[in-house]
Structure 1
């Protein structure tokens, strides 16, 4: 049950259930909150999935709102074999903190390995294995996930939170997730992967929204609207007349 940084070994990396977890490599990861959800920052018309049995137009429903996060329908399944590739574009740059996955709790339908790619929207199932992932996480075994399910109400939802190295996911405009069934699985046959919900958490780094500035345009200035200017004109006229 570990995550591996493909770029360096000096980052802390782990995943945990939605409750606090002992970090296997030192300090526990920084906790995230519902307020840091980035699901509403996803550019849903540009979502794409490869080897998905469900219609593409249903894909935004995988990124459920907080009100719907406990729903288990629809179930998103891979089509041919257990591989699945999902490309998630954002409406602006974000800094990712974690990825929450709610999936089938039992093998063989549960995820095995998650390979994450930052800003690589061109990847497909044909090219993804040759690309170097930004980060790799192993999804916990079903028995481990179920063992502490009674610890909190949040855990009964079945979410597993994979904490990410934040410095490596700053300035993320697109996140590509490859659900790799592992070397023992047949990528072209076998049981389908089953997902119920995904949630991304982090900081929005997009352009700040500014309030519109109201501008007043006058086609012709009116003297009565500018008493100060009128006084100045009167003073100038008096000066010219020697008053």
Structure 2
């Protein structure tokens, strides 16, 4: 399986030289993340995890990264501001044993904890070392067609005490999630005529007394 993902990544990286602008747009889902609610468990320094979600053209920069704390595991809880169809993932780390070796993807489990990682993931990948952020791991799109919240569990690295990540790229499509909120507002305004029901009940209660 990992060989297939590896080959896919190289195929895309070759095409990327001819259409870098389009490639960057495809990996624009980082702009659809609700960063205020993004949560990273077992990060060694609070707030570092959100910094690895950045523009395509910054994917090889090394000035910002997240490192695991107690052991090699990291868990990213990523809420989106709408509905996402996730098509691919890139994970870039250091060119050493601290690079993630396996990721497990979970869909729509807000506030996921390490206690929840024992369940079956939507999809899992064995990773190759990718310090230049070139290798894409294509998802089974049918399983990731209505994603409001994505959890990425880095379950192991290549043998180091801690894991370091520089870039996480998410490729896919995004759609707004406003229609449901508008519907709720309509229901609230439609509930106002309930005042008439109260008026009709009052005379009846007077008659009883």
Tell me the TM-score normalised to structure 1 length.
0.62
1:136 maps to 2:101 = no
Contact kept? 2:56, 2:169, Cα under 8 Å: no
2-structure distance, mates of 1:40, 1:167: 23
The answer for unaligned runs of 5 or more in structure 2 is 13-21, 180-209
Aligned residue number for residue 177 of structure 1: 152
Write out per-residue CA displacement over residues 25-52 of structure 1, whole angstroms, 9 at most, x where no aligned residue: xxxxxxx822122110111101101110
Partner Cα separation in structure 2 for residue 47 and residue 179 of structure 1: 16
**CA shift at 1:125, angstroms?**
1.2
* Separation of aligned partners in 1, 2:174 and 2:78: 15
Shift of 1:59: 3.0
Q: Which residue of 2 aligns with 1:165?
A: 140
Write out per-residue CA displacement over residues 147-168 of structure 1, whole angstroms, 9 at most, x where no aligned residue: xxxxxxxxx7233211101111
| Deviations 1:159-183 (CA, angstroms, capped at 9, x unpaired) | 321110111100100110110117x
Q: Give the counterpart of 2:83 among 90, 93, 103.
A: 93
Q: Which has the higher helix share?
A: 2
Structure 2 matches for 1:7-86, cutoff 5 A? 14-16=5-7, 18-20=9-11, 33-37=23-27, 38-56=29-47, 58-86=48-76
The 1:132–1:122 alpha-carbon spacing in structure 2 relative to 1, beyond 3 Å, is: farther
Instruction: Report the Cα distance in structure 1 between the residues aligned to 2:141 and 2:65, rounded to whole angstroms.
Output: 30
Quote the residue 2:195 is aligned against. Answer: none
Q: 1:192 aligns with which of 162, 187, 194?
A: 162
Contact 2:83 2:174 in 1 (8 A): yes
Secondary structure at the counterpart of residue 159 of structure 1: coil
The alignment of Structure 1 onto Structure 2 pairs a total of residues equal to 169
Give the root-mean-square deviation of aligned CA atoms.
2.5
Unpaired stretches in structure 1, ≥5 consecutive residues: 4-12, 22-31, 146-155, 210-243
Alignment of 1:90-239 (within 5 A): 90-107=80-97, 109-129=98-118, 131-140=119-128, 142=129, 157-181=132-156, 191-207=161-177
Q: Which has the larger Rg?
A: 1
Q: Please give the alpha-carbon distance, in whole angstroms, between the structure 2 residues aligned to 1:122 and 1:158.
A: 28
Q: Secondary structure at the match of 1:33?
A: helix
Distance in 2 (alpha carbons) for counterparts of 1:16 and 1:63: 24
TM-score by length of 2: 0.72
